[in-house]
């Protein structure tokens, strides 16, 4: 491993970065220090304006993101087609563009649009040291609302037992299950 460290770099060419991440993963697995390695390897995000423009450009040139959002919206629309009161809990809204098309589709429904609430949770397990503070009572789930939960491109960021003894991913999924949502969507790379 010492020899490999001399030829890999997290700021080098793509293959060097991949090799560096794989090497650090091996080291973390052997030393059981996954959470601290995971946090140290995260690249710095660009400033908010730059990030939004990069993110927008990525979504424009890569149809997979749009396809994922459209598929999730389709599942939500189908599950909620007869509902008059809808509550969607979105784990990590990103730029929010996913919801424009769904809200427009609901608005065009025969018989009128339903009441829609969207609760957004910004999950930041990296900077918060993996303390993912999601509690069922803070999600404002109300009787009489059809509940949908959306995990778009974020569930893989929540650490599981391979990173920490505290399995935050499992805890969040158990909370969601306890809410008995009508639909849960999962979009990942």
- pLDDT single digits (tens) 74-95: 999 999 999 999 999 998 877 6
* Residue 78 within a domain: yes
Tens-digit pLDDT profile for the chain (189 aa)?
A: 888 888 888 887 888 888 888 888 788 777 776 556 556 655 555 556 666 677 677 777 878 888 988 999 999 999 999 999 999 999 887 767 789 999 999 999 998 999 999 998 876 544 444 655 788 888 999 999 999 999 998 888 787 877 777 788 898 999 999 999 999 999 988
> Which of 36, 42, 41 has the alpha carbon at shortest distance from 23?
41
Outline where DSSP puts E strands in 1-145: 85-91, 115-121
pTM confidence score:
0.69
Beta bridge partner(s), residue 118: 88
Angstrom distance (rounded) from CA 43 to CA 98: 25
In a domain, 7, yes or no: no
* Count of domains forming the chain: 1
Is position 43 within any domain? no
Pairing relationship of beta strands 115-121 and 85-91 according to DSSP bridges? parallel
Whether 94 maps to a domain, the answer reads yes
pLDDT (tens digit per residue) in 159-173 = 787 777 778 889 899
In a domain, 128, yes or no: yes
Residue 58 burial (C-beta neighbours within 10 Å; 0-12, 13-18, 19+) = exposed
Residue 103 placed within a domain: yes
Query: Nearest-CA neighbor of 141 among 92, 89, 71, 79?
Result: 89
Q: Which domain holds residue 76?
A: 64-187
The pair of structure tokens assigned to 57 is 């450009």
Contact between residue 20 and residue 9 where contact means Cβ atoms under 8 Å apart: yes
Dist. CA 77–CA 80, nearest whole Å: 5
Q: Is 11 contained in some domain?
A: no
CA distances, 4 to each of 9, 27, 92 (Å): 10, 11, 36
On whether residue 176 sits in a domain, the answer given is yes
């Amino acid at each position: 491993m010492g020899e490999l460290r001399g030829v890999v770099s997290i700021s080098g060419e793509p293959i060097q970065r991949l090799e560096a991440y794989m090497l650090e993963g091996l080291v973390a697995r052997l030393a059981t220090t996954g959470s601290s390695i995971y946090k140290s390897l995260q690249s710095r995000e660009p400033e908010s304006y730059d990030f939004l423009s990069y993110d927008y450009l990525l979504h424009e040139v890569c149809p997979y993101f749009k396809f994922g959002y459209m598929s999730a919206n389709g599942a939500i629309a189908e599950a909620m087609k007869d509902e008059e009161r809808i509550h969607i809990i979105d784990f990590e809204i990103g730029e929010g563009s996913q919801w424009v098309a769904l809200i427009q589709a609901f608005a065009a429904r025969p018989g009128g649009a339903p009441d829609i609430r969207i609760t957004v949770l910004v999950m930041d397990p990296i900077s918060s040291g993996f303390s993912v503070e999601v509690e069922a009572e803070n999600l404002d789930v109300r009787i009489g609302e059809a509940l949908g939960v959306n995990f778009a491109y974020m569930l893989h960021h929540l650490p599981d037992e391979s990173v920490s003894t505290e399995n935050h991913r499992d805890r969040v999924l158990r909370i969601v299950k306890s809410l008995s949502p009508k639909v849960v969507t999962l979009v990942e790379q």
